[in-house]
Amino acid sequence: MNVKFVDLESTHAEVEERLLERVTQSISENVFIGGCEVEQFEERWAKFCGVDHAIGVANGTDALVLGLRALGIGVGDEVIVPANTFIATAEAVALAGASPRFVDVDDATLLTDASLVEAAITSRTAAVIVVHLYGQVCDMAAMSAVAQRHGIALIEDACQAHGAAWSGRKAGSFGDFAAFSFYPGKNLGALGDGGAVVTGDKQLADRIRSLGNHGRGAPMGMNLVATNSRLDGLQAAALNVKLDHLDRWNAQRRVIAARYTDELQGAMGIRVTDQRAESHSVHHLFVVRVRSRDKVREKLATAGIQTGVHYDIACHLHPAFEQYASDGSLPVSEQAAEQVLSLPMHPHLSTSEVIAVSTAVRDIVSAYSGDDGDEH
Ligand SMILES: *Cc1c(COP(=O)(O)O)cnc(C)c1O
């Protein structure tokens, strides 16, 4: 057996001709920074997310940093961040000059939890970044209410949630702004790094665009040091081609996730991450929790099944973030770091592969079910 975790070859095989056409055209037209591919993509991405403005930037981390800075968040401010996320969420807060304050996540979904966020708000809190992790959208009704009640900014890290929705409304359309990454392995991936900020606020959009382009076109009164963070023309060309297929690829991921759930829900020693009824997930990752995770992973690798771990350290325990506050231990995030296992997930995974992976996971986990979960 040889089951890949992500299969970009199959994805690109579907669009190769169009990709080469658009890239060749961009080269012949000499549009590398800005230009019609970037403009077209920004317009289409805003529309796709159901917002008025999208600004292409260099990557998802920059999307968060630029948005935070454009909101005026920086030194002296605290930004609430879930401990169970990709480290980039926290990096962005620190890079903007603010302090991340880590909170635990909901045990069933492993997502940012509105009541835990509310409990962590202090007089220094300027914003919360909710993370639509694994492709599932957080409870945005509850989250919007908390942000409004306390007058703090609501930011969405939608870097794993391209096309996901909560009660029919798209991820990225709830917050003051949202950040997307087009890292190649994301549901919508470029041929290198790329990212976007989306927002309904024209003034904020203008500030972000200027901040990522050396201050060009700075709105009146903007006195921030800008930087260079732009989406390349060639990357925008690739994204324009791939965006035509995103809904179909997401639908394929949904079928695969449903099959995994059928196969694994209730199996001994395996905890499938819960899905909320209101959440229309795009299943960037299919995450289960198992004990003896590293041993299970090794056995799966030996059987020819690639897996991932997202993520093996809770952010508040990361050496780079020791200096920042969290309210003591964050047990759900800490246990998740030890137990999460991401199974192969990409639009081109076949049903027989899903069944074979599920069977292998069930067999291997049940062989360890007597274990105490220690990793030796
Ligand atoms: C990928 C990702 C990012 C950062 O995106 P880059 O494009 O790699 O900078 C941020 N947050 C989450 C949750 C991500 O998955």
Q: Going by CA atoms, what residue is nearest to atom 10 of ligand 1?
A: 88
| pTM passes above 0.95 | yes
Pick from 159, 180, 191, 340 the residue to mutate for probing ligand 1's pocket: most ligand atoms within 8 Å of its CB: 159
Q: Is 195 in the pocket of ligand 1 (CB under 6 A)?
A: yes
Mean pLDDT of 21-45: 95
Mean pLDDT of 133-144: 98
Three-state secondary structure call for residue 232: strand
Mean pLDDT of 83-88: 98
Examine the pLDDT at 259 and tell me if it is beyond 50. yes
pLDDT for the residue 325: 66
Q: Is 237 in the pocket of ligand 1 (CB under 6 A)?
A: no
Examine the pLDDT at 295 and tell me if it is beyond 60. yes
Mean pLDDT of 131-137: 98
Nearest of 217, 349, 342, 220 to residue 290 by alpha carbon: 342
Q: Going by CA atoms, what residue is nearest to atom 6 of ligand 1?
A: 60
* CA 265/CA 285 separation, integer angstroms: 16
Mean pLDDT of 297-318: 97
pLDDT for the residue 370: 62
DSSP letter, residue 319: G
Which pLDDT tens digit goes with each residue over 55-72?
Answer: 999 999 999 999 999 999
Confidence tier at 323 by pLDDT (50, 70, 90): confident
Examine the pLDDT at 373 and tell me if it is beyond 60. no
Atom of ligand 1 nearest to the CA of 62: 9
Examine the pLDDT at 298 and tell me if it is beyond 90. yes
Q: Is 89 in the pocket of ligand 1 (CB under 6 A)?
A: yes
Q: Is 160 in the pocket of ligand 1 (CB under 6 A)?
A: yes
C-alpha of residue 39 to centroid of ligand 1, in Å: 22
Examine the pLDDT at 169 and tell me if it is beyond 70. yes
Kindly state the helix (H) or strand (E) to which residue 198 belongs, with its residue range: strand 195-199
pLDDT > 90 in the chain, percent: 94
Examine the pLDDT at 51 and tell me if it is beyond 50. yes
Q: Going by CA atoms, what residue is nearest to atom 2 of ligand 1?
A: 159
Which pLDDT tens digit goes with each residue over 224-241?
Answer: 999 999 999 999 999 999
Number of other CB atoms surrounding residue 25 within 10 Å: 13
pLDDT for the residue 375: 43
Q: Is the dihedral of CA 230, 234, 236, 239 positive or negative?
A: negative
Q: Is 26 in the pocket of ligand 1 (CB under 6 A)?
A: no
pLDDT > 70 in the chain, percent: 97
